[in-house]
Amino acid sequence: MRQDMSVSLQDVVVKRRGKTVLGPTTMELSNEGFTMVIGPNGAGKTTLLKVLHGVERISSGSVSWSVPSQTAREGQAYVFQSPIMLRRSVRANLAYPLQLLGFDKADISVRVTKWAARIGLSAALHHPAPRLSGGEQQKLALARALIRRPNTLFLDEPCANLDGSSIREIEEILREAVQAGAQIIMTTHDLGQARRLADHVVFLNNGQIEEQASAASFFDAPSSVGASAFLNGDIVE
Amino acid sequence: MSEIWAGIAEALRLIWSLDENLIDITVRSLKVSLTALAIASTLALPFGTWLAIRRFRYRRFAISVLNALMGLPPVVVGLIVYLLLSRSGPFGVMGLLFTPTAMIIAQVIIISPLIASIAHQAMRELWSEYHDLLISLNTSKWQRVGALIWDGRRTLLTAALAGFGRAIGEVGAIMIVGGNIDQVTRVLTTAIALETGKGDFALALGLGFILITLSLFVNLTIHALSRTESEGRW
């Protein structure tokens, strides 16, 4: 049984070298399947994701989860836009998060075997992970995040620079994770992908949340000028 | 040119005849340098890693000092260790001067900054690569240090080997604190210096070839044991 992990941001501001890159932002996200964070380049999507994950220092405001912050962090996983591979084998990469959580060897072995098969890397278990192709590395990073069954999964443009078949495989894995009860918060540039996956959309522009709505209402009738322009393919400034 | 050939011939003769004096000097050289390496690595590798991931106020200054210490003149180190260990020095009562222990102390002081600095450079690169992932995985400081040391073990080995290279080839400091006493503190480098001074170039060259061979042998053995090249760069 997964925990309900809703989060609220209250007047959150992130500044870097005196420049505001996010906020002031107030929002609430409940535990509801896919939340897509979309917006033009430099809108603050990655910063918002890192703030939610607790790895970005906020200048002011507060972030509060429905569970204690330590419990929230333990139930989260993050996949970066450029996958970070430990300089170890595929197997050791998959096993590492479980070792940190103190899983026993037998359980680790079962989970690693299952996930390696799921991402099609059973034959490469003992290969060095950094030598895999970009698509394989991204799938491995995703499997490494999901292997510990997180309540909340943050994905920062996980399909950027991937080919169609890799994107399809990753989307399948993500749908399975949501069906299993995970909450996914994901940034993307790909509007097609956002339409395919999103249950809920957060539209960011210039560090501000301009619109937050269900996917159906966002794509059918966006309420903000910026979102309309973005969906029409116009340049949004 | 003839002296080089004579040196090679002398080296082969000494090895072939298992010259007792040569074996004694070689074993002592290895003992002193490997002990110094073990102590220095135990101190310097975790320190270099810690310096790579820890942020504190005078970090840049500490790194500058560490890098500057890499160039410590061995003769000066020898002189300071001599003064500390001499009868009138603060540690004189321990009676360590002109013993292999004094030579080990001097070598540890000389090679620790070198090992720590190379380890720091390597770990800094690896930390910048791993930083986001390890933070995101909610790892503790010790888990981060552990991951960096484990995944950077081959580069750390290179740092240790650089330290070994400097230790086994060092002469100035150990001559001062060891005194080059026959069958007590004489090692390959001090023996070479002595034979050169006596004008016995063939023997000096022979010892030099043995020193180079020994250094290569130790390096290759450690590389082979750690499979540095077979697994390539991860």
Nearest to B132 among A73, A84, A130 (CB): A84
Q: Which residues contact A199 (CB under 8 A, 6 or more apart)?
A: A32, A33, A34, A35, A214, A215
**Rounded mean pLDDT, B180-202:** 91
Are the beta carbons of B130 and A84 separated by less than 8 Å?
A: yes
ipTM metric: 0.86
What is the spatial distance between Cα B110 and Cα B72, in angstroms, rounded to a whole number?
Answer: 7
Instruction: Record the tokens describing residue A167, joined without a space.
Output: 């994107």
What is the Cα Rg of chain B in Å? 20
Q: Is A100 on the interface with B (CB under 8 A)?
A: yes
A50 pLDDT above the threshold of 50: yes
What is the spatial distance between Cα B206 and Cα A100, in angstroms, rounded to a whole number?
Answer: 54
Lowest-pLDDT choice from A88-92, A142-146, B224-228: B224-228
pLDDT digits (tens, 9 = 90+) for B132-155: 999 999 899 889 989 999 999 888
B228 pLDDT above the threshold of 60: no
Query: Superfamily assignment of A7-80+152-158+183-231 in CATH?
Result: P-loop containing nucleotide triphosphate hydrolases (3.40.50.300)
pLDDT at A68: 84
Best CA proximity match to B50, nearest among B58, B39, B59: B59
What is the spatial distance between Cα A135 and Cα A119, in angstroms, rounded to a whole number?
Answer: 10
Domain boundaries, chain A: 7-80+152-158+183-231
Are the beta carbons of B151 and A77 separated by less than 8 Å?
A: no
Domain boundaries, chain B: 2-226
A37 pLDDT above the threshold of 80: yes
Confidence of residue A2 (pLDDT cuts 50, 70, 90): low
Nearest to A100 among B137, B231, B232 (CB): B137
Determine whether domain B2-226 maps to CATH 1.10.3720.10. Answer: yes
Please report which residue ranges of chain B form alpha helices under DSSP H.
2-16, 20-53, 59-69, 74-85, 100-136, 141-151, 153-168, 172-178, 188-198, 201-226
What is the spatial distance between Cα A182 and Cα A46, in angstroms, rounded to a whole number?
Answer: 20
Q: Is B184 on the interface with A (CB under 8 A)?
A: no
Instruction: Record the tokens describing residue A23, joined without a space.
Output: 């906020």
All residues of chain B having their beta carbon less than 8 Å from the beta carbon of residue A88 are 151, 234
pLDDT at B227: 64
Q: Is A84 on the interface with B (CB under 8 A)?
A: yes
Closest chain A C-alpha to B151 CA, distance in angstroms: 6
All residues of chain B having their beta carbon less than 8 Å from the beta carbon of residue A74 are 138
pLDDT digits (tens, 9 = 90+) for A151-172: 999 999 988 878 888 889 889 9
For chain A, the average pLDDT equals 89
Are the beta carbons of A88 and B151 separated by less than 8 Å?
A: yes
B232 pLDDT above the threshold of 50: no
